[in-house]
């Protein structure tokens, strides 16, 4: 798949996602290159939102530049209607690895505050078992050594993502070599390690719907 082919698929799935957004919604918006396409297509379709809740400064800047009002979760009286985001990998149960763009903590928080989560990806992100993509961990800097020792016990090899500090002010460890056959169990176990702010497994709160773009069109995968 060439870069131009992949960009075309991102635009196609972005357009499909726009069709899922009800007018006047409070919309949670993720982060990444596919989400950038979604935001652009949302504006092009002139979809009116009550407001958007953003998962990163990058997304906030893009939304506000296109005229959308961005609010924080503290402004909500209850759950949002919908959250839309991409993924680095997604399995048949719609569990995901996210965080390649470094926004995993805010993405997980915003996703948890939505009634419905739609994941938008191109077909290259589909896998049978998670783990081919390095698993991101946002960590407290002082805990990098202890977190690294702990995740090696799970069979992974952590490395510090060079030059990256999250919007929350933390570094990211990328863990390679994992075969994540039970995403919920590993997400839960990693949540117990002191010093990990967030891990990039989204299995306790998987997507409700995945829109997957391929050369054969956009398909819909429902959570089982």
Q: Which residues pair with 36 in a beta bridge?
A: none
Question: Is residue 89 flagged as an active site residue?
Answer: no
Please identify which of the residues 107, 138, 157, 187 carries the catalytic annotation.
Answer: 107
- Distance between CA atoms of 198 and 138, rounded to whole angstroms? 5
Instruction: Mention every residue, 6+ apart, whose C-beta is less than 8 A from residue 57.
Output: 167
d(CA 199, CA 184): 12
Q: What is the rounded CA–CA span in Å between residue 72 and residue 175?
A: 31
Cα end-to-end span (Å), the chain: 29
CA distance 203 to 208: 11
Catalytic residue annotation: 107
């Amino acid at each position: 798949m060439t870069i131009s082919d992949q960009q075309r698929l991102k635009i196609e799935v972005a357009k499909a996602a726009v069709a899922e957004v009800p007018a006047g919604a409070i919309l949670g918006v993720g982060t990444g290159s596919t989400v950038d396409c979604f935001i652009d297509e949302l504006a092009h379709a002139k979809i009116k939102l009550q407001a958007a809740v953003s998962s990163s400064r990058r997304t906030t800047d893009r939304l506000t530049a296109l005229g959308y009002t961005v609010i924080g979760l503290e402004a909500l009286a209850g759950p949002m209607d919908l959250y839309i985001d991409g993924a680095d990998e997604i399995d048949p149960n719609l569990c995901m690895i996210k965080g390649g763009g470094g926004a995993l903590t805010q993405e997980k928080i915003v996703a948890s505050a939505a009634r419905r989560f739609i994941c938008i990806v191109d077909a290259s992100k589909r896998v049978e078992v998670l783990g081919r993509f390095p698993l991101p961990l946002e960590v407290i800097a002082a805990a990098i050594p202890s977190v690294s020792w702990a995740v090696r016990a799970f069979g992974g090899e952590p490395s510090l993502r060079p030059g990256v500090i999250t919007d929350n002010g933390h570094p990211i460890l990328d863990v390679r070599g994992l075969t994540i056959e039970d995403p919920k169990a590993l997400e839960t176990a990693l949540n117990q390690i002191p010093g990990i702010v967030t891990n990039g497994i989204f299995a306790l709160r998987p997507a409700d719907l995945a829109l997957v773009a391929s050369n054969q069109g956009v398909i819909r995968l429902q959570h089982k």
